[in-house]
Structure 1
C-alpha cells in the first residue's frame, strides 16, 4: 500500500447529544455524552491507516495528558506520529460538539497547540516515499500553522508529490485568498457546495458546473464537491462525474466530510478510477454520518463494501472496488 502524509489538527472531541438547541443564554441538557479522538486531518488519517495505508502525520499537541492520550490513540489506529511536535505553552485542542436531534452538529473549539506548529518543524522526511500529501483547510486559518502548511506544500511540489486539500464547512471566507493562491499546486480540492460557490464565484451565475470550472481554470486539477444527501460532483479538465449518495438516516454529521476525503484518497492512490473513488467517498461519508462522533472507527473494508452494495453501483465498478478492498463480493444463490 502506498504511504501518504497528512497535515492538520489533532484534538479531543467532547460530544453532547442535545434534543433541543437552546437560545443564547439558555441551557441545553444533553441526553448523551461521549469523548473521542478528533480533528479533521486526524479523522482522515485514522481511516486511511485503518484501510491499510502507512500514514505519516504532521501536527502538534500540547505537552499535557490530553496530548499523551491523543498520540496513544493515533498510534493504536496505525498512524505514524513521529513527526508530531509537542508544545509547552498551549494545551491540546478540545472541541465541544453539540449534536441536535436532526444529526447536525455545532462545534465550539479552542485550537490551542495546533496553531503553534512552525514551518521549521515540518520535517521533509515526513514526505519521503509518500504518494500524496493531504492537508486540512483548518491548517490555513492562523499563523504559524499556516506557514507550516505552506512549507509542506512547497516541499511536496518540489518532490513531485500530489497535494489534496479538504476545506471544512464554514471557514472558506477566512482562508479564501490563501486557497486561491494555492490552487495551482492542488491536485484534488474537496469542499462543500456553499463553499465552492463562495470560492469559485462566477459572474455567469450560480450554476455549480460553472463554479467548478472556475476553480479548475484557477489552477486546481480536480474539484470534488460534497453535496450531502445529493451525493458528490467531480470536475476535472477531462471529466465530470456525478456520484449518487447512499440512502441513510444521519445520526451525527461530525467527521462525514473527513471520511469522504479518506474514501476518495484511498481509491485514487490505489489507482481506482475517479468514478470509483467518488463512490468510495460517498460510502465512507455515509458510514460516518450514521455513527455518533467522528465515525472514523466505523469506516473499514467490510462496512465500505456493504455500503457500496446498498448504493446500486454498476456491477463491474463494484467488483473493482471489492478487489481493492480485498473483500470477496457476495454472490447470489
Structure 2
C-alpha cells in the first residue's frame, strides 16, 4: 500500500493562554504575571505542527469550536502545511483552552478545559479511516475521549500503520491498545503512574523504566527524563539516550515536540534509538524559546544546532 502521509495525529487542539510568573502560586495565593500571551496549542495540534515543521507530511484529526479561537487554530495549522480536512468545527462547543503559568525557572503549570476536544468521537475516527490508512505512523494523544483513542488505535492497526501512543495524561486503556503501542511514549512521572496502575513496582535505573513498560504489554517504549534525556526499549534492545545540555526558557510543549520527532523519524525508517536521539535534539531546541508551537524548529534550524546525530 502506498502511504501518502508520514504522520496522522489524532488528538486535541487548544488555545494557550500563557502567563509568565516569577514562581508558581501556592494554594490560595495570588501572584503577578510579568507577561500574558495567546498562542496555538493542544497536544494533538502541537505534535502535528512540530512534525510538519520538520518536513513530515502530516494531517490532524480533531475538533475545535465554531468560534474565533477555532478559526485561528485551523489557520495556524494550514500555515504550517498540516492537512485539516478531518479537523472538524463543532457548532455546539467552544474551542479547548489551556491556562498556563511559566515560572522563571522555565517549569510550567497547566490547567486544561477540553471543550470541543471532549466531543471527538469514534464516529469521527470511522469517517477518517481512509486518512489513517494513508499514513506510515498514527500518533494518538490522551486529551480526547478514551473510546476515541481506542478506535483510532484499532483503525491504525487494521490499516498496517505504526501506532505511537503518547499516554499523557495517564488513563486506563484496554490491554490490546497498550499492546499495540509501538512505541508508548511517556515521561518519568507518567511511567511511574502507569506501572502503579498495573501493579508493578517502579524499577531502579532509567533504562529499566522503559523495559518495565514493555513488560506490562507495550511493543516498545520511550521514557523521557527532561534534561537527562530518555530511555528506549524494544524487542532485543534497550538503551539510554543522553540529554542535550541547554538553558530552558519554557518547557511548555517540549514533550509534544519530542513525541512528534520520534514519530517523524520512525516514518522515515529510523530505529527507535535513532528516532529518540533526533527527538532529544528537537526537544532541547524547543525549550530555548517561549510557548509551545511558537518554539518548534524547522528541520534546518535543528540541523544548524551543534552536535546533532545524523
TM-score (norm 2): 0.91
Q: CA deviation at 1:194?
A: 2.0
Q: Which has the larger radius of gyration?
A: 1
Contact 1:263 1:283 in 2 (8 A): no
Contact 2:64 2:88 in 1 (8 A): yes
Equivalent residue number for residue 156 of structure 1: 156
1:279-306 Cα offsets, whole Å, 9 max, x none, are 1111111111111110555311122123
1:216-244 Cα offsets, whole Å, 9 max, x none, are 13321210010111111011121112111
Q: CA deviation at 1:2?
A: 4.4
1:66 equivalent to 2:61? Answer no
1:184 equivalent to 2:189? Answer no
Contact 2:203 2:212 in 1 (8 A): no
In the alignment of these two chains, the number of paired residues is 302
Q: CA deviation at 1:179?
A: 6.0
The one of 6, 11, 17 equivalent to 2:9 is 6
Q: How is 1:18-97 mapped onto 2 (pairs within 5 angstroms)?
A: 18-97=21-100
| Unpaired runs of at least 5, structure 2 | none
Contact 1:16 1:31 in 2 (8 A): yes
Cα distance in structure 2, aligned partners of 1:203 and 1:80: 40
Equivalent residue number for residue 129 of structure 1: 134
- Alpha carbon RMSD of aligned pairs, Å? 1.9
| Unpaired runs of at least 5, structure 1 | 140-144, 322-333
Contact 1:287 1:295 in 2 (8 A): no
Cα distance in structure 2, aligned partners of 1:291 and 1:114: 27
1:266 equivalent to 2:264? Answer yes
Summarize the Cα distance change of 1:56–1:203 in structure 2 as closer, same or farther, 3 Å threshold: closer
Contact 2:154 2:177 in 1 (8 A): no
Secondary structure, in 3 states, of the residue corresponding to 1:34? strand
Equivalent residue number for residue 289 of structure 2: 291
1:200 equivalent to 2:203? Answer no
Q: How is 1:218-237 mapped onto 2 (pairs within 5 angstroms)?
A: 218-237=216-235
Summarize the Cα distance change of 1:290–1:225 in structure 2 as closer, same or farther, 3 Å threshold: same
Q: CA deviation at 1:5?
A: 0.8
1:136-185 Cα offsets, whole Å, 9 max, x none, are 1222xxxxx322221121111111111111133xx32xx0x216552111
